[in-house]
Each structure stands twice: as structure tokens, then as C-alpha cells.
Amino acid sequence: METAKVTWKGAEEFDAVMPSGNLIHFDGDGKSNKGPSMTETLLGALGACTAVDVVSIIRKKRQKLVGLEILVSGEKAPEPPRVWTKIEMVYRITGEVEEKAARDAVELSKNKYCSVSAMLEKTAKISYRVEIVKG
């Protein structure tokens, strides 16, 4: 079993030592803005999770990937628990990448490989679009 250790640092700030040993400083109320909120880290985790998959799949398809940027935007439920209910993702893929290869990579990530996406889809409708920038 993997374990994270969370320590209160005062106000609504917490340090979390992840199972990997890496530290994240959370700011629960966002007033001091000394770290991300817990829920906003999920948007970043989703982007990073799918990015790993997309890069790997596109490379396996022998496409000339130069860059990848993913914009992850979300809306929360108005009442507690304020879970993500709608997430929109924009994949900006740079290089000589065929549109079909890019779309296939994103679909495989979303539907098969990305565990963060699988978890968030329990509460949020996740949509995406792919933009290819030649270069």
C-alpha cells in the first residue's frame, strides 16, 4: 500500500509528502496563495497523466513530435462537495504529426491508460479537442 503523509502547517496550509518522497505544499483556502488547492492539483495531474500517454503513443507511431501543451479547464459543483463536474481539455501538438495519430493517442489515453481520467470521469464530463501546429 502506498502512503502519503500530510502535516498541518497553520491556517489552511498543509505539506504532503507523497509516496515517492516528493513534497507538495497545499493551500486549502487559497487566501495566501502559497500553494495549489487540493482540487486544482487534480487538473494538473490529469494533464500530466494524459501527456505521458500521448507522447509515448505518438512516438510509437513514429510521428515527429516537437512539443505538447495541454490546457485543462474545469467547472465545479456549486454545493459541497465541490467536485469537478465538467472538464475541457485542449491538446496543442506541435510537429509533423498526422491528425489521426494524434486523435488516436488522445482517445487511447482517455479510454484506456490514464488512471486520473478514469477517476475524474466518475464525477465530471471530460471533453477534448486536438490542435496540431506544424513545425
CATH at 101:
3.30.300.20
Q: Judge if 47 and 101 occupy the same domain.
A: yes
Q: Judge if 23 and 59 occupy the same domain.
A: no
Domain count, the chain: 2
Q: What average pLDDT score do residues 114-135 get?
A: 96
pLDDT one-digit tens code per residue, 63-84: 999 999 999 999 999 999 999 9
Domain range holding 17?
1-36
Q: Judge if 17 and 60 occupy the same domain.
A: no
Whether the per-residue pLDDT at 30 is higher than 80: the answer is no
Q: Judge if 9 and 25 occupy the same domain.
A: yes
Whether the per-residue pLDDT at 135 is higher than 80: the answer is no
Q: Judge if 81 and 93 occupy the same domain.
A: yes
Q: Judge if 64 and 102 occupy the same domain.
A: yes
Q: Judge if 27 and 62 occupy the same domain.
A: no
Q: Which long-range contacts (CB under 8 A, 24 or more apart) does 113-120 make?
A: 113/53, 114/46, 114/49, 114/50, 114/53, 115/49, 116/42, 116/45, 116/46, 116/49, 116/50, 117/46, 117/49, 117/50, 120/42, 120/46, 120/84, 120/87
Q: Judge if 48 and 7 occupy the same domain.
A: no
Mean pLDDT of the chain: 96
